[in-house]
Amino acid sequence: MQLYIKMIGTIFLVYVGMMNLNLYKFKTKQILLMIGITEVISSILVVHLGQFIALIPVLAIPMLILYKNNINIVKSTVLPIFSIIIVVISDYVLTSIIVYFFNTDMYAMSNDIKSYWSLYILELILVFITSKFLGSIINKKMKISNLKIKGKFSFLIIISSILTLIIMYANIILEDKLGFESDIIRINALMFSVYFIMLLVIMYILFTSIRKELELKNKQGLYNNLHEYTNNLEKLYTDMRKFKHDYANILSSMLGYMESNDMEGLKKHFNENIVPLGRKMEANNFKLGVLKNIKIPEIKGILSSKLIMAQELSIDTFIEITEPIDYINIDIINISRCLGILLDNAIEAAEKSDKPFIKLAIINTKTSVLIVISNSCAEIIPHIHRIYQKGFSTKGNNRGLGLNILKDITNKYENVYVDTAIQNGEFKQQLEIGKTMESAGVVNA
């Protein structure tokens, strides 16, 4: 019975550490379900295979749950491992302190219920403080949740974490065979602490390299988007010059009909020649001119790039940005990803409709920035709650991650709200970003 109680205590410590390290917030029901499943499986394993094998579900179940929610194998693997490492080091540090100052027999202490729970409470406090501190650095200072970790970096991070855990438990198993001598406990406590610090340093270097690489790619993408936007403005300027040059000729062409009082001829000339010219002036190239009110280069770049793409696909675009936008209270990478997802989906849905169009409006209010993206869509539309589910897509299997990622991004911010409506063949999504919440990063021109 005592072994089961200790197992529950260990599982609880691991989950406390994991919750503090992870930016994703689990519901209470999810936490209780995970702990319950872990405890049942671990209890069976501890009887038949021993306490070390019983720790496998403690590691595996959180990995599966995190992967399901975060869609990222690196974070799903590393966070539970880091949590277990924190628990192990906290246990060894406290044990070493007690042995050193009180000269206590740890075997006897672990079998004494009162002493065990006293030590457990201290360990819980230490795990909570340590994991909370590291979680703050990981999520707020380094902003690892914003990074897309792939390729060689993901491999190095996962392998480093797994090797650290294996080395630690190899030493613990060896210590168990040699006996829990105070000297061995102190050596392991020191070695584990140093090794964990080295791992953190390695992780910091890797994440710094990843961030620099992503920043370079983002700058290149920004340059390409702005280059495309500049080319479009040059076309607009050329068209305006042509119109200015032809303006006198247009008036002269009408003068002959007026002098001869040929109103029927004037009407025909107006409808066949002047009206099409007016429509050309309202063409999509001229509509992009309102993007001048976007003072944030990254946002202007992605909007121009996506809207030009829509125009090239013969999708009619309507743009309304009447006031300057130079401040958005959200991380620049996250808002760029959100806009990219929304516009990509709008373009794809509009393409499939009979009369394709996209409407974009950005409204700057006193308390928030409101981004509204509407598009034409097919008559058969799924329920709104389904489109945000992971894996759902009208394009086939394993492609429906866009809106699920959008949901994960917006859930990180208390000042960001997403509203979706479908009415009369028009799909509308509204992204509202509050200006006053401190939980979001600030984007400035």
253 lies in some domain: no
DSSP type of residue 140: I
Structure-token pair, residue 253: 């062409």
Q: Tell me, what's the pLDDT at 114?
A: 73
49 with 198, same domain?
yes
Q: Of the residues 157, 190, 218, which one is the last residue of a structural domain?
A: 218
Q: Of the residues 218, 239, 256, which one is the last residue of a structural domain?
A: 218
294 with 203, same domain?
no
The amino acid at residue 417 is: Y
67 with 208, same domain?
yes
Q: Tell me, what's the pLDDT at 373?
A: 94
15 with 122, same domain?
yes
Q: Tell me, what's the pLDDT at 112?
A: 67
CATH code for the domain of 352 = 3.30.565.10
Q: Tell me, what's the pLDDT at 244?
A: 64
- What pTM was computed for the model? 0.54
12 with 161, same domain?
yes
86 with 181, same domain?
yes
Q: Which of the residues in the chain have pLDDT under 50?
A: 384-386, 388-401, 438-445
Q: How many domains does the chain have?
A: 2
Q: Tell me, what's the pLDDT at 342?
A: 92
209 with 300, same domain?
no
256 lies in some domain: no
Q: Of the residues 171, 194, 218, which one is the last residue of a structural domain?
A: 218
37 lies in some domain: yes
Pairing mode, strands 316-320 and 426-434: unpaired
Query: b/e map of 377-404 (b: 16 or more CB within 10 Å)?
Result: beeeeeeeeebbeeebbeeeeeebebbb
Domain that holds residue 409: 289-444
DSSP per-residue codes, 361-424: EEEE-SSEEEEEEEEE--S----HHHHTSTB--SS-TT-BTHHHHHHHHHTT-TTEEEEEEEET
The partner residues of 360 in beta bridges, in order of sequence, read 319, 373
Q: Tell me, what's the pLDDT at 75?
A: 77
Q: Tell me, what's the pLDDT at 358?
A: 93
Q: Tell me, what's the pLDDT at 400?
A: 43
244 lies in some domain: no
Q: Tell me, what's the pLDDT at 143?
A: 62
129 with 37, same domain?
yes
User: Please, what is the end-to-end C-alpha distance for the chain in angstroms?
Assistant: 62
284 lies in some domain: no
Q: Tell me, what's the pLDDT at 439?
A: 40
320 with 437, same domain?
yes
270 lies in some domain: no
The partner residues of 328 in beta bridges, in order of sequence, read 443
374 lies in some domain: yes
Question: Residues near 375 by Cβ (< 8 Å), separated by ≥ 6?
Answer: 346, 347, 349, 350, 353, 356, 357, 358, 359, 426, 427
Q: Tell me, what's the pLDDT at 237?
A: 64
Q: Tell me, what's the pLDDT at 71?
A: 59
320 lies in some domain: yes
30 with 134, same domain?
yes
202 with 335, same domain?
no
- Element spanning 282, H or E: none
